[in-house]
Amino acid sequence: MPSSVSFSLADLCSAWAHGWTITRETSSPEPLLLAGAHALEVPTPIEDRRIVLPEPTIAAVRAGLAELSSSPDACLRFPGDDDDWRPLLGAGWSLFEPGWFMHRPVMRRTIGEDAEGYEVVVKRSEDHAAVEIWAAAGGGGREIVSHGLIGAARGSAASPAELAGWGTVDQIWTLPEHRQRGLGRRVMLELENAAHGMGLTDLVLTSTPMGLMLYDSCGWSEISRCVWAVTSP
């Protein structure tokens, strides 16, 4: 099945939220309306509450900020530019890190000779894939030194049928002492091949500033900036 020829930013954002709950092994997002705009209450193991707004309007962002402002560790995420939305944030809110929504059409990738001396492990189920790169650690043990996950949006009960081909890439990291050796790139290519095997057509992720170079070098495209507003007690 080919990649979605065209998709809306709202679909991309919604797919990201649904797939994210699969990588994080939480229950499905709950659809809700904020000031008439569609929103997703996304269960999260890392914050008190997280709301994602696929189609942010000023009224919906205001309503989201009001809804979450009493939670000490809440997050409101939506496509948009930090500079445009910063003036709307009131006391108790701050912008966490600059973010970008990125997209990659799934293709079968050729894996090169990188990661020599490392063990690459790919685990795949119907809606979830993990890539782990292992190396020897101090004390004679072994440890994961580079890592990535995919969650298929279709694994989320509330995900609309039109997002069935989408997967979210999440938790991409390489331990500092193993960086700039091609391991992150190997993880991304293995994940894309896993996505191909899972029948996915489109991948989405939100990038931090540090991830941009890696994703760019793996053929991902920036679709939009991503606002990441957090409550700060």
Ligand X SMILES: CC(C)(COP(=O)(O)OP(=O)(O)OC[C@H]1O[C@@H](n2cnc3c(N)ncnc32)[C@H](O)[C@@H]1OP(=O)(O)O)[C@@H](O)C(=O)NCCC(=O)NCCS
How far from 161 is each of 7, 11, 156, 166, CA to CA, in Å?
Answer: 14, 11, 11, 10
Does residue 174 touch ligand X according to CB under 6 A?
Answer: yes
Binding mask 137-166 for ligand X (x = CB under 6 A): ---------x--------------------
What is the closest distance, in whole angstroms, from the C-beta atom of residue 181 to ligand X in the complex? Answer: 5
Contact between 23 and ligand X by CB under 6 A: the answer reads no
180 binds ligand X (CB under 6 A): yes
Q: E strands within 84-212?
A: 93-95, 99-105, 119-124, 128-136, 142-152, 166-174, 202-207
> Considering the complex, what minimum distance in angstroms separates the CB of residue 42 from ligand X?
17
The CB-side HSE value for 163 (13 A sphere, CA atoms) comes to 27
Piece in contact with ligand X (CB under 6 A), picked from 26-34, 159-167, 168-176, 194-202: 168-176
Cα dihedral across residues 85, 87, 92, 98: positive or negative: positive
Q: Which of 63, 45, 83 is nearest to 227 (CA)?
A: 83
Q: Is 207 in the site for ligand X (CB under 6 A)?
A: yes
Q: Which residue is nearest to ligand X (CB)?
A: 184
Note whether 208 binds ligand X by CB under 6 A.
Answer: yes
What sign has the CA pseudo-torsion 74, 184, 151, 168? positive
Number of residues that bind ligand X (CB under 6 A): 18
CA distance 123 to 128: 8
* Nearest Cα to Cα of residue 135 among 171, 186, 173, 183: 183
C-alpha separations of 11 from 125, 151, 221 in Å: 24, 16, 16
State the minimum distance, in angstroms, from the CB of residue 188 to ligand X: 8
With respect to ligand X, which residue has the nearer C-beta, 217 or 232?
Answer: 217
Residue span binding ligand X (CB under 6 A) among the ranges 28-36, 56-64, 152-160, 203-211: 203-211
* Residues 213-232 within binding reach of ligand X (CB under 6 A): 213-214, 217
Which one, 43 or 98, has the nearer CB to ligand X?
Answer: 98
Q: What are the residues binding ligand X (CB under 6 A)?
A: 146, 172-174, 179-185, 207-208, 210-211, 213-214, 217
